Chains A and B, each alone.
Chain A
Amino acid sequence: MERLATIALGAGLFCFVLAGVLTGVLPVAHLSRIKYKTLAEIAPEPSSDFLDLAHRYPAEFTTAFGAPTTDKFHEALRFARDTYIAEACWHCHSQFTRPVSNEDVRFGKVSYAAEYMNEMFLPHLFGTRRVGPDLIRESGRHGNDWHTAHFYDPAIVVPSSVMPRYTWFYDGERPNKKALSMITYVQWLGSWATPEALARKPEVAHVAP
């Protein structure tokens, strides 16, 4: 018990591997029964918000993306996800709702494992702190114009907000690629789990717990 070999192999290797199997490999193997999907599979066409932004800010949109095609929609989502990580948005906003504390009333449908089995959640962005609200059911909660004002200076629309300004998402006061992508992204988060979407796609509801 006090020898180097016992400590290195028993405590070091064995205990680490045992815990890794029980609390890592086992849940991961269990969850891998759900099929992993690419962005093309979960978002086969541009969202209405992406098209709306193309209308609302035609010059800025053309500079950023050109035409609002499906490929450009995917590019916007991936670019926004990277921006979300770079700005560490996930330190103040979570991306999962819990079956407790009235979160289903405040945010919407409780999170289920299947909705995270796609490339947009590799890496996952669950988060561990909420200064601002959860975002996994953000889709459609506010309009695109609200988000445009909010990213520029959150206090414009939420006076008590402590969220920082993201003025580098804008050229002057006009949204650039970052703002347009971020708005597309937050409006997309949970678009698959709104009541209407769930009514349209019963198979999504089926995999929920």
Chain B
Amino acid sequence: MSDNPSPLVERAVVKAHFIAAFAFFFIGLFAGLLYALQFSRIYPFPGVELLSPGRVRMLHTNGVAYGFLLNAFMACLYWVVPRLTGQRVLSRKLSWVIFWVYQAVLLLVAGGLLGGLAQAIEWGETPIFTDPLVLLGVALLIVNVGTPILRSASRNLYVSLWYFSAMMVWTPLVYAMGNYVPQFFVPGAGGAAVTGLYIHDLVGLSITPLGWGLMYYFVPVILKRPIWSHTLSLAGFWGLAFFYPLNGVHHFFWSPIPMYAQYGAVMSTIAVEIVVFTVIVNFFMTIKGNTGMLRTSMPLRWFYVGMVNYFLTCFQCAFQTTLTFQKIIHFSDWVVGHAHLVMFGVFGFWLIGATVYLWPKLVGKPWWSETLNAWNFWISTIGVAVMFIDLMAAGLVQGYLWESLAPWEKSLISSMPFWHIRSMAGICITAGQMLQAFNMWMTARQPARAGTQATEPLPAARAAAG
């Protein structure tokens, strides 16, 4: 396939997106580490305006979400969509234009955030002048990657493509709504309701469909067997589409947003957790009987632990979304722990799994070191587990101390040990990704060994769809 004059998959584009993903991952991880150190009162740049912890925090969240996650998702889209549809993306040139425009926008965002041009929208801190550029980039991506889906639309689509197609409708709507409505049109509590909708829709209608779509592709391909239940995957998709967007207000419980909206958010959030379980059950039933492969297949391990983490976050969420839990845990580190487990422990893990699976195929050589891959797997797993448990405990301590009416400083002093541990967990995760990137680099530059040209397995997922 790779010797073809116009290959189905443009490997260089996929590779470039993975490289960019890891480059921005480091920016995001080091920014996170810097911000975490501030909590231990060890800040290397005190009084430096451009590296103020408040600004660095936004570099962390935007760096990992838009720099790492979305770059890696785009890499996977360029690999998966042509394989599932049997069609090339619209244009190779357009792919490169999108790639460079996207990296330029990311650098503009990073500069804008540090330069004091941020917007006060959570997950939408991207400076106002970059928002039209982001929307333009999204539109181009939809045209480019949507074309092969459109061209194969005469038959039933495989489950991954349901998610990708819906995501392409949702993302521009969500982004435009969140970045403009609360900024220019709706003040106060109404604006907060829209912001909540945006925060949640961005995770639920962009990141989650991409993640689930990739999971439904990679897991059957790695296992070489179809997914367990087609009906469950249908229930999962339509359940997500119906319930997920209704959850937004749960980011502002007990606020002056009208209570009927808050009660609705509680119920629909619990409904989403039930929907999520259909996907989790489908995954574990697919892998049932093949768990021995966890010892031999590193990508499968990342997907498996990611799915265990997914179960944990969703189980936790069904409780923390109740107004009773919210009294104590809202505003605390509990929520920060939850966010790390979802964004890194689930979607980050799946994308690293996809990287581990795809990188040898992209460079046409086997991994330079399987040991380093295993090291990253273990220290990332331990790192995110420690961070999650630690921040959850910290959140309970903070919440109960606030309720007890102890002086505010008491909650800071009591949080200190937890914050030290959180920094150490962050160092573990960062170190793991450095090993991964080093391994990627060494893999790419090692001389090709005879007989190791990666062969491409048939897209088993497509057979599964038929």
Contacts and interface: CB of A to CB of B under 8 A. Distances in A.
Interface of A: 1-5, 7-8, 10-13, 15-16, 18-20, 22-24, 26-28, 30-32, 36, 85-92, 94, 96, 98-103, 105-106, 111-113, 115-119, 121-126, 128-133, 158-162, 164-168, 209
Contact of B190 (A8, A11, A31): A31
Interface stretch (B25-33, B43-51, B95-103, B218-226): B43-51
The size class of the interface chain B forms with chain A is 35 or more
Contacts of A20: 177, 197, 245
Given A4-B153, A23-B248, A102-B405, A12 B170 contact: yes
Nearest to B253: A98
Please provide the 7 A-B residue pairs with the shortest distance between their CB atoms, ordered closest to farther.
A116-B188, A12-B169, A19-B245, A11-B241, A86-B116, A28-B190, A98-B254
Interface in B188-212: 188-197, 201, 205
Interface in B386-423: 399, 402-405, 408-409, 412-413
Contacts of B17: none
18 contacts: A4-B165, A7-B162, A11-B242, A16-B170, A16-B173, A19-B246, A23-B261, A27-B258, A105-B405, A106-B405, A121-B187, A122-B186, A123-B195, A124-B188, A124-B189, A128-B122, A128-B330, A129-B335
B39 interface: yes
Among B119, B166, B190, B195, the one with the most A-chain Cβ atoms within 10 Å of its Cβ is B190
A39 B199 CA distance: 28
A7 B157 contact: yes
Contacts of A23: 193, 196-197, 245-246, 248-249, 261, 264-265
A200 B255 CA distance: 25
B235 to A, nearest CB: 10
A123 B55 contact: no
Among B57, B165, B413, the one with the most A-chain Cβ atoms within 10 Å of its Cβ is B165
A103 B253 CA distance: 14
Contacts of A15: 241-242, 245
Given A125-B120, A162-B39, A164-B52, A30 B153 contact: no
A72 to B, nearest CB: 22
B256 A111 contact: yes
Among A5, A8, A167, the one with the most B-chain Cβ atoms within 10 Å of its Cβ is A8
B121 interface: yes
Interface of B: 38-39, 41, 43, 46-47, 49, 52-55, 57-58, 116-122, 125, 149-150, 153, 156-157, 162, 165-166, 168-170, 173-174, 177, 181-184, 186-197, 201, 205, 234, 237-238, 241-242, 245-246, 248-249, 251-252, 254-258, 261, 264-265, 326-328, 330-332, 335-336, 399, 402-405, 408-409, 412-413
Contact of A101 (B53, B149, B153, B399): B399
B246 A27 contact: no
B245 A96 contact: no
Nearest to A116: B188
Nearest to B193: A27
Nearest to A98: B254
Nearest to A101: B403
Contacts of B186: 28, 122
Contacts of B120: 85, 90, 123-125
Contacts of B57: 88, 91
